[in-house]
Structures are given as C-alpha cells and as structure tokens.
Amino acid sequence: MIIPPRLIGRKEAAEYCGISPTCFSMWVASHKMPPTIPGTRKWDKRAIDAKLNEISGLGNNN
C-alpha cells in the first residue's frame, strides 16, 4: 500500500488546488494559502485544506 505524502512541494500544492504554481505563489504571498512548514519548502495538505475551507465558506469542518 502506497501512502501519499502529507507534505507537498509548490508544484504539487498548486496541482492539489487546481491552479498554476505561479497563482499558488501569489495566493501564499496574499495569505490565501498557508506558508511552508518552517525549515522546509513543503506545504501541509491539511493546512491547505483548512485555508480552502475558509475561503470557500466551509469553515474548518474537516
């Protein structure tokens, strides 16, 4: 069984959100998306999910 990684890079994070990497970077800069995990260049999928829930009006219901 292959377990997908919880931490993902910028390209994967953008694909996960269905947007371009450039757009994802702009969303991070404007705080629509969370910053990377400190000391890495990786984003936590759950943090991305929480932000997507927030901006889509779903709150933090996981």
Q: Quick check: is 60 in a domain?
A: no
- The per-residue pLDDT string of the chain (62 residues; one tens digit each, 9 = 90 and over) reads 999 999 999 999 999 999 999 999 999 999 999 999 999 999 999 999 999 999 998 876 55
Q: Quick check: is 1 in a domain?
A: no
The pTM for the full model equals 0.87
Total number of domains constituting the chain: 1
**Token pair 């996960």 in the structure block, residue:** 16
Token pair, residue 49, equals 């999910």
Token pair, residue 4, equals 């997908």
Residue 37, SS3 per DSSP: coil
Q: Quick check: is 27 in a domain?
A: yes
Q: Quick check: is 29 in a domain?
A: yes
Q: Quick check: is 44 in a domain?
A: yes
At 59 the pLDDT is 73
Q: Quick check: is 18 in a domain?
A: yes
Residue 12 structural domain = 7-55
Token pair, residue 31, equals 């705080």
Q: Quick check: is 19 in a domain?
A: yes
Q: Quick check: is 61 in a domain?
A: no
At 58 the pLDDT is 87
d(CA 47, CA 32): 11
